[in-house]
A = this chain, B = another copy of it.
């Protein structure tokens, strides 16, 4: 590997001179500049980023810790975060925890080791204390989508309760009385809030709450596939399902379609978060949705604010999701306000 010293030797100058022509835009005589630049070119020198990080005390890198890289929701967040990073000339270290506490811990360990100057995280579980271990003063972070109430930090998320409430209310207005929910991990904030929104919508709609209609799933397609099967085997199956995320919607629809169950004729569906295939599904999907890209953008910007000034009070930003009506609920126009 060619170093600054090699360049210095080649042109017969000191390392500091070389470093300066590299870092100060108008340094040295035309002559030296040209000579140095030429040597750098010839030798193929590139500054060692690690050494630079070391001396500058910052890495120019931020990390994004997410529970599932394969989920388009997080991937869109990543795009948002990345774009902001680029504007700030930062790099993005993407860490996929796979909903696994151990993996998350291992990444957090690296982060504590100053791998990055700050990070954005969507925690695996709200109950897990590992986030506490990292010193916010040293490495600021913002939580996204999933909040961890045991820790004080900025948070950017969705108004999950409202979203779920809105979705279920839509079902009720369409005349449904037997409404089930396939809900996500209950050790996460969105998992809890979306279930809560479902319950409150039923309550306000004076509908009874039926335990067997509440399926505790884990945000995965497989869990939703099984839940759908169980739901339909019930003595009085539901006529509608509110599904807590995009992946579970896929799982649910896979079951329905492979068993020739029609949507919305046999059963109605509302999904939290809109998959990109919403329109070309066998029954175009009605969804509650929010721009994940924008969330990522907001979170990253908040982080960069923190990076330059840690003193302002903690912020909590909630985006309001909107309902897009397609066919999967059996749109009854006169019922919609």
Chain A residues at the B interface, C-beta cutoff of 8 Å: 1, 44, 46-54, 59, 69-70, 72, 75-76, 78-79, 82, 86, 91-96, 103, 106-107, 109-110, 112-115, 133, 135, 138, 221, 250, 253-254, 257-258, 275-277, 279-282
- Bound Cα distance A92, B78 (Å): 15
Find the B residue at minimum CB distance from A279. Answer: B254
Verify B110–A49 contact, CB threshold 8 A.
Answer: yes
Q: Do A69 and B50 have beta carbons less than 8 Å apart?
A: no
A-B pairs with lowest CB-CB distance, top 8: A49-B113, A94-B94, A46-B112, A277-B277, A253-B280, A50-B53, A257-B280, A70-B75
In the complex, the chain B residue whose C-beta lies closest to that of A113 is B49
Which residue on chain B has the smallest CB distance to residue A91? B110
| Closest chain B residue to A76, Cβ basis | B70
> Number of copies of this chain in the oligomer?
2
Question: In the assembled complex, which residues on chain B have CB atoms less than 8 Å from the CB atom of A79?
Answer: 69-70, 96
A109 vs B46: C-alpha distance when bound (angstroms): 8
How far is it, in angstroms, between the C-alpha of A221 and the C-alpha of B257 when the chains are bound?
25
Contact in complex: B46, A113 (CB < 8 Å):
yes
Contact A281:B279 (CB < 8 A) given known A75-B69, A86-B103: no
Are B50 and A78 touching (Cβ within 8 A)?
Answer: no
**Bound CA span A276–B225, Å:** 14
CA A276 – CA B222 in complex, angstroms? 13
Q: Which of B47, B53, B91, B250 contacts A276 (CB 8 A)?
A: B250
Give Cα A54 to B279, complex, Å: 51
Q: A49-B115, A91-B110 are in contact. List 6 more A-B contacts (CB 8 A).
A: A46-B114, A49-B110, A49-B114, A50-B53, A51-B54, A280-B281
Contact partners of A113 in chain B: CB under 8 A:
46-50, 52
- 6 pairs from A and B in contact (CB 8 Å cutoff): A48-B113, A49-B115, A52-B113, A250-B276, A254-B280, A277-B281
Q: Which residues of B contact A72 (CB under 8 A)?
A: 70, 72
* Separation of A279 and B275 alpha carbons in the complex (Å): 15
Given the complex of chains A and B, what is the CA–CA distance between A1 and B54 in angstroms?
13
The distance in angstroms between the C-alpha atoms of A50 and B49, with both chains bound, is 10
Closest to A89 in B: B106
Q: B44, B59, B115, B258: which contacts A135 (Cβ < 8 A)?
A: B44
